[in-house]
Amino acid sequence: MRLVLKEKPPLEFIQPLPAVFGIVNLTPDSFSDGGKYADAPAAAAEAVAMLDAGAAGVDLGAESTRPGALEVPPEMEIERLLPVIRRIRELRPEAVLSVDTRKAGVAEAVLDAGADIINDVSAMTFDPRMAEVVSSHDAAVVLMHMRGTPATMRNPENMVYDNVTDAVGLYLEDAYARAVSAGIRSDAILLDPGLGFAKNPAQDYELVKNAAALRKRLKAPLFYGPSRKSFLSQVCSGRKPAERDYATAGILCALAAAKVEIVRVHNVPMALDCMNAFTRVF
């Protein structure tokens, strides 16, 4: 499989080494690095460092989607994102840039500024204009599984599944079909099972355990985001998010064994070291 991008070489997925995307949050309240890259120069510098370390791309977010997070006005997202995108484009014009947003107006602004991928945690259900914006820009899109919104996804009714893997698979199949019907190219779609979004830790581990089954079932590359998430706290004595990289590395090995195409992480050098070591023995 590969991801075909507008005006850039396609991302070719050479197994068993997943492509690694770095995460840069431009928010004051993200669960792991909130406030660390809240100004444009720092955020752009971190993104460039990740790219120089070997990241295949960078995922920028200007609205926290941690559990309980409240919605940010689109104008604020745009204000945070555009200076960073423009600076990265000046320094690394060839870089693959993904932007995490649910809002069509934000997507339009960042795509016009040079973003390549829209990473929509609502799978284009939050804003009815999103599919049109992605299609008209010939952009790539990440469609993620979630129930509710970041503010409500931990409500009990959103976390009950007969079979979480089957439910996520069905949802992502439907999201993929809707995207293609809306005019988005099938080779420009990534699918994210949504670890930590309307799931408890047991369900998150189940989705990691069954990554190979999801990959076999679904028609688009998988884009997993396990980095430092709360389900890992069970295996690392409740340590803070920034101290969960060792646990993240364990999950990355499981995802590599399942031949997942892309993982996104906060610590790019760690992830690349982990993946490179894994390929020596796999």
From the list 80, 229, 244, 259, the catalytic residue is 229
Q: Give the orientation angle of helix 74-91 with respect to helix 104-113, to 10 degrees.
A: 20
Among candidate residues 147, 215, 228, 264, the one labeled active-site is 264
Residues 6+ apart with CB under 8 A from 267: 227, 245, 248
CA distance 74 to 144: 20
CA nearest neighbour of 194 among 245, 219, 229, 151: 229
- Which pairs with CB-CB distance under 8 Å and at least 24 residues apart come from 239-244? 241/31, 241/32, 242/32, 242/33, 242/266
Respond yes or no: is residue 259 known to be catalytic.
Answer: no
Q: Which two tokens stand for residue 177?
A: 């079909």
> Which residue, among 159, 163, 155, 190, has the nearest Cα to 175 in the 3D structure?
190
Nearest to 29 by CA among 76, 7, 62, 2: 62
Continuous segment of H or E residues that includes residue 132: helix 130-136
Q: Residue 120's closest CA among 43, 68, 178, 39?
A: 178
Would you name the residues annotated as active-site residues? 229, 264
